[in-house]
Amino acid sequence: MLARAGAARLIGTGLVGRMPQGMTSLATLLLVRQATGSYAAAGAAVGASALAGATCGPLLGRLVDRVGRRLVVGPAAVLQACAFVALALAARAHLGAAVLVACAALVGASVPPIAPVVRALFGELYQQHEVRETAYAIEAISQETIWIVGPLAATLAVTLVSAEFAVAMLAAVVLAGSLLFMTSPLLGLGDQHGLLGHQGGSALASVDLRWLLIPVSLMGVALGSVEVGIPSLALHEHSRAATGFLLALWSLGSMLGGITYSRARSGAPLGSRYAALLALNCVSIVPLTIAGSLGVAAFASLIAGLAIAPALSCMNSLVGHVVISGSEHEAFGWTLSGLVAGVAGGSALAGVLITPVGVHAPFGLALAAAGLAAVGALRFRGRFGTEAGAIA
């Protein structure tokens, strides 16, 4: 997979360009919690950011399909940098929860569509199914560095300087990272071969893509709940510094699971693997529901991540089967948005549940959502060894 000229650079610069995504949720959560003193407001801000991203993601993906990659990634990065600065200034000026939530929503709405670009490019670079699936597995594993380095960097910036500084710093990170990503020569591949600028229909014309959004969104609810629950557990144990460490362990577990999956992938149909991995994700969340100390939480966080990267790798491979030609960026935008929309709902609901129910409430919500995701994925059981998706 890496023998393809420019592939390693594409993945590497794509990771740098997406690094703010690993820092934004935690930095926003801590900033709004500090500015308002409310878990509910903090969860609403994180959820609003994710929901805005879910709404605008497919639109940005469709725009990429029509005008080209660089013409969308660059302006989006500039807009998001401005949104980060506005969020930091609003918190510093104590403008209230409503303004903070609105600024967080603007941050989410302007996420540069780097992930859909990378995943769509894999479909153009690798025609052989096995190599393409390996590419998606490697991408899922490598992107976990975002969720390991990002929370640690955000926690360090908040602890050593301030939450306002951490958010403002993200403006510089998104500009520099996106600019570096745009230097990859492979970004012009579609333009050179006339694959962009089509006038086709929506990616949602695929029946299977529409159905896939159900388990994808439910998995997002589980991820969003855990993402709020882990920092809340650390704060409950009077250790704000442990938030980044626990989130990093969660991502490390995902990376280890992804490595294991890529090395020992079975010959079972892709749909069966996807359903099984979502069921495993449900089981892996159970230890978090009983974690009563930071030591137990550390172990439980590592276990909870084991099935995430494998499930995401399978999801991206499924998109490659069901996508309509010419709408690749939009299709990956929809699945990413479905995931992010689930994160939005999970984050917001988890934040609301903590005060009346308890610090373990987000993990109970995550467990229920992960179980429903596994049930929804049964639609694809036994499918997609080689066949393409159904089209309405």
Q: What is the pLDDT of residue 231?
A: 84
Look up tokens 């695929």; give the residue: 206
Q: Tell me which amino acid residue 325 is.
A: S
- For residue 229, what are the contacts with CB-CB under 8 A and spacing of at least 6? 288, 350, 354, 359, 360, 361, 362, 363, 366
Tell me which residue of 112, 102, 90 sits closest to 175, measured CA to CA: 112
Q: What is the pLDDT of residue 392?
A: 35
Contact between residue 67 and residue 44 where contact means Cβ atoms under 8 Å apart? no
Cross-strand pairs, 391: 206
Contact between residue 104 and residue 87 where contact means Cβ atoms under 8 Å apart? yes
- 3-state DSSP of the chain: CCCCCCHHHHHHHHHHHHHHHHHHHHHHHHHHHHHHCCHHHHHHHHHHHHHHHHHHHHHHHHHHHHHCCHHHHHHHHHHHHHHHHHHHHHHHCCCCHHHHHHHHHHHHHCCCCHHHHHHHHHHHHCCCHHHHHHHHHHHHHHCHHHHHHHHHHHHHHHHHCCHHHHHHHHHHHHHHHHHHHHCCHHHHHHHHCCCCCCCCCCHHHEHHHHHHHHHHHHHHHHHHHHHHHHHHHHHHCCCCCHHHHHHHHHHHHHHHHHHHHHHCCCCCCHHHHHHHHHHHHHHHHHHHHHCCCHHHHHHHHHHHCCCHHHHHHHHHHHHHHHCCCCCHHHHHHHHHHHHHHHHHHHHHHHHHHHHHHCCCHHHHHHHHHHHHHHHHHHHHCCCCCCCCCCEC
Which residue would you say has higher pLDDT here, 345 or 384?
345
Tell me which residue of 85, 308, 331, 64 sits closest to 196, measured CA to CA: 64
Cα dihedral across residues 105, 109, 115, 116: positive or negative: positive
Look up tokens 């060894």; give the residue: 385
**364: pLDDT strictly greater than 90:** yes
Look up tokens 């991540």; give the residue: 305
Read off the pLDDT of residues 3-31 as tens digits, 9 standing for 90 and up: 778 888 888 888 888 888 888 988 998 89
Q: How far apart are CA 28 and CA 50, in angstroms?
A: 11
Q: Which fold has domain 7-380?
A: Growth Hormone; Chain: A; (1.20.1250)
**82: pLDDT strictly greater than 60:** yes
Q: How far apart are CA 218 and CA 215, in angstroms?
A: 5
Which of 35-44, 91-100, 151-160, 192-201 is predicted least confidently? Answer: 192-201
Residue 385: band (very low, low, confident or very high) from pLDDT cuts 50, 70, 90: low
Residue 348: band (very low, low, confident or very high) from pLDDT cuts 50, 70, 90: confident
Q: What is the pLDDT of residue 193?
A: 41
Q: What is the pLDDT of residue 194?
A: 44
Tell me the Cα Rg of the chain. Answer: 20
Read off the pLDDT of residues 320-331 as tens digits, 9 standing for 90 and up: 788 777 778 888
Q: Tell me which amino acid residue 321 is.
A: H
Read off the pLDDT of residues 100-159 as tens digits, 9 standing for 90 and up: 999 999 999 999 999 889 888 887 788 777 777 788 888 888 777 887 788 788 888 888
Between CA 227 and CA 111, with CA 320 as vertex, the angle to 5 degrees is 40
Q: What is the pLDDT of residue 201?
A: 65
Q: Residue 149 CB: number of other CB atoms within 10 A?
A: 17
Compute the residue count for the chain: 392
Which residue would you say has higher pLDDT here, 268 or 63?
63
Of the chain, the percentage scoring pLDDT greater than 90 comes to 29
Q: How far apart are CA 101 and CA 98, in angstroms?
A: 5
Mean pLDDT across the chain, nearest whole number?
A: 84
Map out the domains of the chain as residue ranges. Answer: 7-380
| pTM, full prediction | 0.79
